[in-house]
A and B are shown apart, each in its own frame.
Chain A
Amino acid sequence: MLELVLFYMASTIALVSTILALTRANATHALIYLILSLLAVAVIFYLIGAPFAAALEVVIYAGAIMVLFIFVIMMLNLGEKGDRREKQLLKPQVWIVPVIFALVLLVELVLVLSQSEPATTQGLVTAKQVGLTLFGPYVIAVEIASMLLLAGLVGAYHLGRRYLEEGREAKATRDKGHQISQEGVR
C-alpha cells in the first residue's frame, strides 16, 4: 500500500513541476523545476523496481545534462539583467515551491529506505542483470551509442569553438593597445 501512495505523490510532483517548468518566463527557474521533475521520476523508477535506472536518472539527467544547461545560460551572460535576477532569486516566493516538493521527495526516500524489505513487489531488476544484458546481446547498441556520443562531442566542439574565437576577437578589437602588444608577442 505504501508504495502506491508514494507513487501517486511522486507522479503528481513530476507532472506539476513539469508544467511549472514549461510555463516559467525565467530559464533558471524553469531548470530548477525540471530538475525536480527528474528527481520525482527517479523516485518512480525506484518504486517500480529499477534502482539502477533511478541512479542513472539522478546522476546523468539531473546532474550532468542540467549542469550543461545551466553553464550555457551563464555563458549567455545576461549582464545588468542578470544581477537583478540574482537578487530576485533570494526572494522566498521564487524558491519556496521547489523546496517543498524536494522535501516531499526526501521524505519519500527516507520512508522507502527505512523499510527492511525492498518497497517493490514487482520484479526487481538489479544492476547486475542490466550489465549482463547490456554487454551480452546488446553490445552492438553500446557501440552505436559510443559513436553517437562521439558525433555529439565533435559537433558541440565545432559549434562552441567558433563562439569562443569570436569572443576573443571582439575582446581584442575592443582594447586596441592590448591587441598590438599581443601581436608583438606572437
Chain B
Amino acid sequence: MDGVSIPLDHVLLLSALLFICGLLGLMMRRNIIFILVSLEVMLNSSAVAFVAAGARWGQADGQIVFMLILAVAAAEVAVGLGLVLQIQRRFKSLDMDDANRMRG
C-alpha cells in the first residue's frame, strides 16, 4: 500500500460514526418509521466496515457479508413495515409509546 490510498482507519471511523448516529436515533426517536430508518443506518454502517476490511486485503469475503446484510435488511424492512401498518391500524398513531403494553 502506498501513501495515496484511503486509510482503513478512516473508513472504520466513518462506519463507527454512522453506527453511533443510528444508535442515537434509535434511542431518541419514538416514531416507528424513524426507528426502522435508524436500524437501516446501523446495518449500513456495519456493511461499510465489512466492505472496507474486505477491500483492504483484496478479498471478496467482505462483499459477500455485505450481500448477506442486504438480505437481512430487506427481510427486516418487509416485516417491520407490515408491523407499521398493523400498529397504525390498531393504535391510530405511529408512536411506539402507545404500543408498549404487552398482553399476557
Chains A and B are bound partners: yes
A-to-B contact residues, CB < 8 Å = 1, 3-4, 7-8, 11, 14-15, 18-19, 21-22, 27, 30-31, 34, 37-38, 41, 44-45, 47-50, 52-53, 56, 60-61, 64-65, 68-69, 72-73, 75-76, 120-125, 129-130, 132-134, 138, 141, 145, 148-149, 151-153, 155-156, 158-160, 162-163, 166
Instruction: Tell me whether chain A's interface is mostly helix, strand or loop, or mixed.
Output: helix
Best-buried of B14, B17, B72 by chain A (most CB within 10 Å): B14
23 contacts between A and B (CB under 8 A): A7-B6, A15-B14, A15-B17, A15-B21, A21-B37, A22-B22, A22-B41, A27-B33, A34-B41, A41-B48, A45-B51, A47-B6, A53-B51, A64-B74, A69-B81, A125-B63, A130-B63, A132-B60, A133-B61, A134-B64, A151-B75, A155-B79, A163-B85
B-to-A contact residues, CB < 8 Å = 1-2, 4-6, 10-11, 14, 17-18, 21-22, 24-25, 29, 31, 33-34, 36-38, 40-41, 44, 47-48, 51-52, 54-64, 66-68, 70-79, 81-86, 88-89, 94
Contact assessment for A122 and B66 in the assembled complex, using a CB-CB cutoff below 8 Å: no
Contact assessment for A156 and B82 in the assembled complex, using a CB-CB cutoff below 8 Å: yes
A residues less than 8 Å from B71 (CB atoms)? 145, 148-149
Instruction: Tell me whether chain B's interface is mostly helix, strand or loop, or mixed.
Output: helix
Contact assessment for A49 and B67 in the assembled complex, using a CB-CB cutoff below 8 Å: no
> What are the nearest 5 A-B pairs in CB distance?
A123-B58, A159-B82, A152-B75, A22-B25, A156-B78
Min CB gap A65→B, angstroms: 5
Contact assessment for B10 and A7 in the assembled complex, using a CB-CB cutoff below 8 Å: yes
